[in-house]
Amino acid sequence: MTSPHARRPIVAANWKMNTGPDDGAELARSVAAQDLPFAQVDVVLCPPATGVAAVAAAVRSTPVAVGAQHVFWEASGAYTGEISVPMLAGLATYAIAGHSERRQLFGETDLDVQRKTLAILSGGLTPIVAVGESLDQRDAGETLGVLRSQVRRVFEALTPAETAACVIAYEPVWAIGTGRNATPEQAQEAIGWIRDIVAATHGQPAANQIRVQYGGSVSPENCEELLSREGIDGALVGGASLDAAKFAAIVRAAAP
């Protein structure tokens, strides 16, 4: 029986600072050529900024979508090195906001992530908002509190409808790029908390609608047990997404 809150899974590739236009386009073409359940799963590739146009051209006539890894909230102006949402028009339909590498290495705050999320939405793109606790926070039993404060702060300026249109990526910082994934139980519990927080702040319909992915060392080896769990609506994939066959295995595991 289909759940009354059936959500379409989404698997997104975060290529981080890897690939340029040519090898990025080649990787995108090989992802699009895989046998993937496009009718059931949204598939998104997030190349670095210099590869967005080439990747968008490479997947134009396929169901593969393109996302940006990072945007600034202003539309234009004297912001050297930054990329705005309007600059992605016709190229990308998603953008990540608040990846932990941006929070840790580049000092992004929850308020920055909120501004970016609003800008992404107002440009007609879908935000993928990353949240998650550090290892110290998990060990101190603070995971729920950290998620509550991140989700509240980022989404407090959004309406329930805007919130429902977003994707949240639950990415425990200790699991990103470490080869140490959260257990399916840990991922499911934290994602359940995130949905409860959204229900408390924006109402149950928004909580039922918003898609919440898991991210952190997802691989072909662990994707089945993670993505078969109720409530885990797909994955945000770093390292394994640089290999088309590995990424394809993860996309297939996300199909209901």
CB of 102 to ligand PEP, least distance (A): 10
How far is residue 161's CA from residue 195's CA, in Å, rounded to a whole number? 15
Closest to ligand PEP by CB, 116 vs 202, is 116
Min dist CB 239 to ligand PEP, Å, is: 3
If the CB atoms of residues 101 and 110 are measured against ligand PEP, the closer one turns out to be: 101
We find the least distance from the C-beta atom of residue 24 to ligand PEP, in angstroms, to be: 16
Annotated catalytic residue: which of 70, 99, 133, 202? 99
In the complex, minimum distance from the CB of residue 98 to ligand PEP, in angstroms, rounded to a whole number: 11
| Residue 9 vs 216, nearer CB to ligand PEP | 216
Binding site for ligand PEP (CB under 6 A): 14, 16, 171, 176-177, 215-218, 236-239
The Cβ of residue 38 has, within 10 Å, a number of other Cβ atoms equal to 15
**Shortest distance, position 171 Cβ to ligand PEP, whole Å:** 5
Query: Considering 101, 133, 171, 202, which one is annotated as catalytic?
Result: 171
- Residue among 46 and 206 whose Cβ is closer to ligand PEP: 46
Whether 230 is catalytic: no
Give the whole-angstrom CA distance, residue 168 versus residue 214: 9
User: How many Å apart are CA 46 and CA 36, to the nearest integer?
Assistant: 18
Q: Is 171 a catalytic residue?
A: yes
**Residue 23 token pair:** 């090898």
Chain residue whose CB lies nearest ligand PEP: 238
Q: Which is nearer to ligand PEP, 160 or 239 (CB)?
A: 239
Task: Cite the active site residues.
Answer: 99, 171
